[in-house]
Chain A
């Protein structure tokens, strides 16, 4: 049976592929690193009775059955994807924060410049516009 793989595309990433690396242990378990119970419920005293079942072992070959092998490989790939997407979310969050900060900095800088230019701190332009609109 062919191993599973996944492909990710987005406007800023041309292609990111995920595939099974057989030597790594994360592709040989049904218990994923990122697919466990949330920390919140564990802290609330939850006992995890909802774990995925263990891989089924073939009596003859003493190897996991084909479907169990697929489940284990998918668990590993799911971990890869989850970690990748979490990382991207963090990057996006930081970018947003930076943009917000720079907008705030720009606004303060403009206000200081206006005051230095002899303004009274009020936004006259906007008030004039409002008055004109009211007329």
Chain B
């Protein structure tokens, strides 16, 4: 029996407050959430319906010049230099007057992610914990995405498609673990899109994936896809070859390599395709692969709902394609959130961390707060679900 009221709220309150800190990649997020202490939470599987109230959700992104990715050292510096200011803003917005009294738990991303940025944020979390005498919880970033998605959409037991810059996984819950049914064998989908954006030298603000989505929307030849490799391998997929191929097409287009007959007309020498066409075809190809493995996972576990989480999950075309697949299945439904919750944020870390804390699982010694770059979704024991 799951009892989410195992730990009493501090100072005799009838609600819990959690501060969440996220910094596993180039987004630095700080969020404050509130869970009422409900009697219904003492038994049963209600972790998707905590009646969460989001008190603040502040995010600052480290943005690099067009054509450049983000390096660990500079990303960590960004987080280090902004984290206090962002925490102050988040507390102020949430009207937390005295963190010593008002906060039940501080949750931070323990992994997976880039080592140096994770480390910067973990130090901030430890400092706040010692200063305010508030317990800490280390959170798996992927589980944070899943729990936030479940809470926002109220999807009880969906198949989860987790698509971001660092991860591409199809996940289903079974016996206290989020089991990975399929995943990328090489680069993540967000990384594939970001790296193509670098080749195109399009801006990294607000995000390279968003700018590719906008270019794809402007494609005028939507009925004529550029043929790209389609690399689904059982439940897994591979994207590095597709990236290398489309990169070579884009480079030939920019260089004006007229020997490439796929791009330039044999007779007139005029380009047959545009950057928008490339973006559209890349998206269609990659998203079709994702839809295929997600549908297969749904068939395996006999599920009718899909929850899309992660930064790429805010892509409306992916949501639309997944929706079409779900429509063809009995009672099929796709759940997705907007960019506030899809893209890395502090609130999702607070949500997963608070669930863990309410089950009595929090850091007893600071040695447990060491961050880790490799932290698979299925390593986490999900005590807050039946």
Contacts and interface: CB of A to CB of B under 8 A. Distances in A.
A52 B81 contact: yes
A41 B68 contact: yes
B71 A50 contact: no
Dominant secondary structure at the A interface: loop
Contacts of A51: 81
A132 interface: no
Interface string B55-95: 00000001011011001011001101110010000000000
A46 B77 contact: no
A50 B81 contact: yes
B81 A41 contact: no
A50 B78 contact: yes
A41 B74 contact: yes
A37 B77 contact: yes
Contact of B74 (A37, A45, A52, A53): A37
A46 B26 CA distance: 15
Given A50-B62, A50-B82, A53-B85, A44 B68 contact: yes
Contacts of A44: 64-65, 67-68
Contacts of B77: 35-37, 50
A52 B81 CA distance: 5
Interface in A24-51: 35-38, 40-41, 44-46, 50-51
B120 to A, nearest CB: 12
Contacts of B73: 38
Contacts of B67: 44
A40 B62 contact: no
Contacts of A45: 65
A40 B71 CA distance: 9
Contacts of A37: 74, 77
Interface in B220-250: none
Interface string B154-173: 00000000000000000000
Contacts of B78: 50
Interface in A78-100: none
Contacts of B74: 37-38, 41, 46, 50
A17 B200 CA distance: 50
A60 to B, nearest CB: 22
A120 B68 CA distance: 54
A38 B62 contact: no
B85 A41 contact: no
Nearest to A51: B81
B29 to A, nearest CB: 16
A56 to B, nearest CB: 11
Nearest to B72: A38
B64 A46 contact: yes
Most chain A beta carbons < 10 A, residue from B73, B81, B85: B81
Contacts of B68: 41, 44, 46
A36 B73 CA distance: 10
Contacts of B82: 50
Contacts of B64: 41, 44, 46
A67 to B, nearest CB: 10
Interface in B290-334: none
Interface in B329-381: none
Interface string B120-140: 000000000000000000000
B62 A41 contact: no
A93 B62 CA distance: 32
B22 to A, nearest CB: 17
A87 to B, nearest CB: 19
A3 to B, nearest CB: 18
Contacts of A53: 81, 85
A35 B78 CA distance: 11
A50 B74 CA distance: 9
B81 A38 contact: no
A38 B72 CA distance: 10
Given A41-B68, A53-B81, 5 more contacts: A35-B77, A41-B71, A46-B64, A50-B62, A51-B81
Interface of B: 62, 64-65, 67-68, 71, 73-74, 77-78, 80-82, 85
19 contacts: A37-B74, A37-B77, A38-B71, A40-B71, A41-B65, A41-B68, A44-B64, A44-B68, A45-B65, A46-B64, A46-B68, A46-B74, A50-B62, A50-B74, A50-B78, A50-B82, A52-B80, A52-B81, A53-B81
